[in-house]
Structure 1
Amino acid sequence: MAGVSCCWDVPWCFGGDFNITRFPNKRVGDTHFSHAMTIFSDLIFKPDLIDLQMAGGDFTWSNGRAWSRLNRFLVSACWEACFPDLSQKRLLRMCSDHYPIMLDCGGIIRGHRYFKFENMWLEEEGFVDRVRSWWSSHSFSGTPSFVLASKLKALKQDLKKWNVEEFRIMENERKLLLQQLKSLVDSELLGDISNEELERKKEVVAELLKITLMEEIYWSQKSRVLWLKEGDKCTKIFH
């Protein structure tokens, strides 16, 4: 990595599971520096990378008995200069031993949004029936081509309005579910959780996974990466 980064004088960002802690206090029960920790620090210092502070918690991996800081983003100084509000945050985990890490670069400047059919809509229960109902509710007079064009235009407005309302509700639901999950996880860590709360935790995770699937479909379509298939996507991208 150090050799490659020296070949191109451009902003660099490395991220992922490095499978090593940098300091002993970033692994519960560890008190001494290891040789691997020294090598990892050299990896950061030689290319002049910056180990960003992380908000949201100290550890990024746990199997319920051990806790470690394995996941992080490392950026070059010129990358940090491009994004003055750069930060990394630990998010809530759902079904993995690893906590997801988000690199926040300060937001995206959005331009004019044109209409397009979102594949994630198909994951919403009752969507086809809803479209059929909208289509039947519109009536126009004229040539067949004019009627078709007019109904499509009216349907587009129905879809745009529904998309804004439905997924604004979904975003609020996501926030509430994350709050519930955090509360349940905190109770679980303290050993003060009932069987009913454990069942509720499973339900919350299932609902969050459904919302996450729809977001994944949305960003996959937006990226226009046509070869991206189901499975281990990260491995395919890196290969």
Structure 2
Amino acid sequence: MVSWNVRGLNDFQKRLVVRNLLREWKCDVICLQETKIASIDRQLVCSIWGCLYVDWVALDADQTAGGVLIMWDRRVLEKLEVLDELVGIQQYWNIHWCCFGDFNIVRFPSERRGASRLTPAMEKFSEFIEDLNLIDLSLEGGSYTWSSGTNQPSMSRIDRALVSHDWKQHFQDVTQWILPRSVLDHFPILLEAGGMARGKSPFRFENMWLKSDGFVDRVDS
């Protein structure tokens, strides 16, 4: 899967760049953010990823901000038996969660170039991740996912993947990579999984258990 804040897809030349990179990466699921397109149709989807075996869902936007386009190869998702989860199960709490994209916030000072202190916004973001019991996957291939592109650029890691524990147990060898940046200020993020896990999952201790009343006494007994 690839997540990428493209900062607008109205320009034909930019769509051509995006299309060529998607062909090179050969991903099964693509999430493009900030499309800035009011209405996305099949013709536009085909111009970005091709028409063969592609399905999509889009959140429309205006020409200045917003908009999300998710595209996927239906053959792969049907094989993995996760298509229903992607396109709209009503019981959201019963599915495996993978939330990835541009969160526009960092967790730690080390994720923003030149930052030296932990801010309240950083603390709230970490609390959000902990409260939902999500895993913040480590990033391979670089430290930052956004750069201003100036001579002394501002840089930060504001793009990331957050997954639930059952999602991570469902797939093997999950790795999050930073891909080379092209004409945009955001680096694409690749989430790669080796395949679905089979058999019994290994035991893993969850830090959230420590917050449960009586947990320590139960372990002691």
Provide TM-score, normalisation by structure 2: 0.45
Q: Rg larger in 1 or in 2?
A: 1
Higher helix share: 1
Q: What TM-score results when the alignment is normalised by the length of structure 1?
A: 0.42
